[in-house]
Structure 1
Amino acid sequence: MRAVHFTDTYLPRRDGVVTSLRTLAAALADAGNPGLIVVPRHPDQPAEPDVLRLRALPCGVADLRLSPWLLRGAAATGTIAEIAAHAPDVVHVHTPGPVGLLGVLTARRLGLPLVQTYHTDLHAYADAYRVPARALSAGVRLYARRLGVPRPAAAPAGHTRDHRPMASGAVARRRAAMDATNTLLLGGADAVVVPTRAVLDRIHLPVPTDRVHLVPTGVAARRTTARDINAFRYGHGIAPSDRVVLYVGRINREKGIGLLIAAFERILAGCPNARLVLVGALYEPRWLAGLLRTIDPRVAARIILTGQQTPEVVAAAYGAAEVFAFASRTDTQALVLQEAGLAGVPAVLVDRGLHQHGALAGAALCTDAEPGAFAAGVLRLLRDPDAARRQVAAATARCAQHTPARYAEAIREVYASAAGLTSRFNDRGRTRS
């Protein structure tokens, strides 16, 4: 089946959605199922075949670029016609932004099966950034208008649709808007993919359970050499005696960076030659500078920020690390945990759902989300090489079960399921246009 993928995040930005999507598209193509990827245009994007770039504008948040078609619905007609010329068999939406919404509209207009992957915990992100509820509600109204459907009804007062504690005021209104967004995007999907059960433990998805498919993303090992590892250490002033505690991912507040930095102060007290290396894009430098001012300057001097790096440099960073420290509690799968496992780096995390149900399936050290406990976990692995080796052996075995080829095979089965469901709908009058 030829899929057309829709995503609001793409190169040169690097994140879990981009990694998952590019891994899937490449594995599907290798298996004889090439597809089309619809993305927001960026001047620094590399030239790639089978990528449809839409006009997009920077939104001022995390280097994201948004397609303005949402403001003028007629702009979608030409794009959908161009997509139809590629003769896709299934629409696969990966993000909830304007490009993702265009994917939902495309599936409806062309009568194609619609598959959604729930990569992002929208509720957690909206809460972390305190997105104004009024702005989210306006977005819901615009989404409903573009799809030509009524705005979803809000949950009754005192009722919650997810598994988080009850909330009130702005928090409750934000969550209601996120529920409505999920209903608009996911409610009509023929299949919804969740990468780990941790998603279902946090969020109520507006989809019948028989349409929800659990499919972890397959990850390939990042290859590196001793020369590249030494170059990485030298380039960032890491001495041969330094012991590297590594984090890979966006340097953003929702990723638990505050907890990680607070814990590192304790890690350094127990291991004076430790270095904390943060590899990833920094979108809020003033926020991070404020965090660093809360710790001893001598501790801050032991923290290295590399910025966003190429896959080759990231592989060298894993090669230089002794422990991978992951303090996020908003990730739905955390592909970096698999990357660390394949690189032979033991991991410490705080998300118990992800620890139990993620791809590592318990092959990591999970602590309380508190600086002292997290630091103790990191120090334990730094001080006990035998425990670290046992954990790495278990993690590597778990990761070997989630290859890109197996990922593509599982997604093809999801496509087939969605196509069968759409066919039954068409028999009842839902026709292609």
Structure 2
Amino acid sequence: MRVAVVTESFLPQVNGVTHSVLRVLEHLRDNGHEAIVLAPSAGGRAPARYAGFPVVHLPSVAMPGYASFRVATTPQWLIERELSAFAPDVVHLAAPFAMGQRALAAARRLDLPTVAIYQTEIPTYAARYGLPQAEPLLWKWVRNVHQLATMTLAPSRAARKQLIDIGVRRVGLWGRGVDSVRFHPAKRDKAFRRRYARRGEMLIGYVGRLAPEKQVDDLEVLADLPGTRTVIIGEGPRRAELEQILPHAVFLGQRTGDELPRALASMDLFVHPGELETFCQSIQEAQASGVPTIAPARGGPIDLIDPSRTGWLYSPGDLAGMRAHVRDLLGDDRKRANFGAAARAAVEHRTWPYMCDRLLGHYAEAIAEHRAQRASLPF
């Protein structure tokens, strides 16, 4: 199979969209498929190839207030030229919005089947970035973009319902895999705990971007819990501000390679306060590390956390409820250990190869659907 991957985000930007794209490319390579990547340029910092596949850098500009995030300014004709030259069997669009819309229009002109991966709740982000009046218009844009696709895949049941409710048709489900070898309870690191829990503190962890939509400042309600320390992993435009809001937390910045799984497995509890997660990969990684998780009962975490078994969900905005769940698990070693073991068991089979095989099945469905649509045309 020949797959053209068009992504709104790619290396060196590290986020959920990039992470998923990298795992898909690795799976395509490992199974003998061909691929090309169309991604925003990054001032010469993006790789020329990944997993053996060429990466085409498309013109882009930095997003105001978030310089590390690039927005492609590529005209449709240029995308059309690249797709035509590669001649893919299917076009994979990762979190299509701006460049993705133009890529979908280009694919339609070239009569190519397309699979759009919905991943980011951009319209609701607008309110968090001070533009609430733009939200209704952006939801219309999302609907119109995804209506161009042969098939849309949502990462969770909540996200799928959200898309269907705004009028998107042909919406399936495709979650995300987790590397249950890389993320493993055995990675718990005594040296990490000696460094960040010198007095035997319980470590409360967070991993993710430090941006407004992640609501990391909600963790302030945990600051006065005795015998605890909050460890925050990630980078983003709010880091300096959050260091002022959470002076007792430890900010470790971005962690990759072996450092991230060691840090996650060394946590006693994982809390992700963001309410706009369509999936939340860091929850899966914490679970694979044997760490109980706590998150708002909205979006992707609803599918990932089994309350009273692998962690707790709290009503969005109920920070007293979040705090109570944290106290509950930190105060009961046996319950916390049982929750952690159950969390690990719930996700260890959900590997990236398994999930990417399912994605290849969706590609085949989209190709078949596209052929059926062509066959039904009166000319």
What is the TM-score when the length of structure 1 is the normalising length?
0.78
For the pair 1:370 / 2:318, whether they are aligned, the reply is yes
* Pairwise CA distance, 1:217: 0.8
Amino acid at match of 2:311: A
- SS for the counterpart of 1:85 is helix
Amino acid at match of 2:207: V
For the pair 1:282 / 2:236, whether they are aligned, the reply is yes
For the pair 1:56 / 2:56, whether they are aligned, the reply is no
Which of 256, 264, 268 does residue 222 from structure 2 map onto?
A: 264
Amino acid at match of 1:420: A
After the TM superposition, which residues 29-428 of structure 1 pair with which residues of structure 2 at under 5 Å, given as runs?
Answer: 29-42=29-42, 43-48=44-49, 49-50=52-53, 51-62=55-66, 63-69=68-74, 73=75, 76-131=76-131, 171=132, 173-203=133-163, 204-208=165-169, 211-221=170-180, 222-223=182-183, 229-230=189-190, 232-233=192-193, 237-239=196-198, 241-261=200-220, 263-266=221-224, 268=225, 271-272=226-227, 274-285=228-239, 287-288=241-242, 291-292=245-246, 300=247, 302-356=248-302, 358-362=303-307, 363-368=310-315, 369-428=317-376
State whether residues 273 and 295 of structure 2, in contact with CA within 8 Å, keep that contact through their aligned partners in structure 1: yes
- SS for the counterpart of 2:112 is coil
Distance 1:81 1:354, change over 3 A: closer
Distance 1:227 1:428, change over 3 A: closer
Distance 1:406 1:83 in 2: 28
* Pairwise CA distance, 1:85: 2.4
Distance 1:44 1:260 in 2: 33
- SS for the counterpart of 1:35 is strand
Distance 1:258 1:402, change over 3 A: same
State whether residues 6 and 39 of structure 2, in contact with CA within 8 Å, keep that contact through their aligned partners in structure 1: yes
Distance 2:45 2:378 in 1: 41
Amino acid at match of 1:193: L
Amino acid at match of 1:403: T
* Pairwise CA distance, 1:22: 1.3
| Larger-gyration structure (1/2) | 1
Distance 2:236 2:93 in 1: 26
Distance 1:119 1:219 in 2: 16
- Which runs of 5 or more structure 1 residues have no equivalent in the other structure? 132-170, 293-299
Amino acid at match of 2:320: G
Amino acid at match of 2:268: E
- SS for the counterpart of 2:304 is coil
Distance 1:309 1:47 in 2: 23
- Which runs of 5 or more structure 2 residues have no equivalent in the other structure? none
- SS for the counterpart of 2:5 is strand
Distance 2:184 2:336 in 1: 21
Report how many residues are paired. 369
Distance 1:29 1:339 in 2: 23
1:165 alignment partner in structure 2: none
Distance 2:160 2:185 in 1: 39
Distance 1:79 1:189 in 2: 16
Moved >4 Å (runs of 4+): 223-228, 230-234, 428-431
Amino acid at match of 1:416: A
* Pairwise CA distance, 1:371: 2.7
Write the deviation string for residues 60-88 of structure 1: whole angstroms up to 9, x where unpaired: 3432112222xxx4xx4344323322221
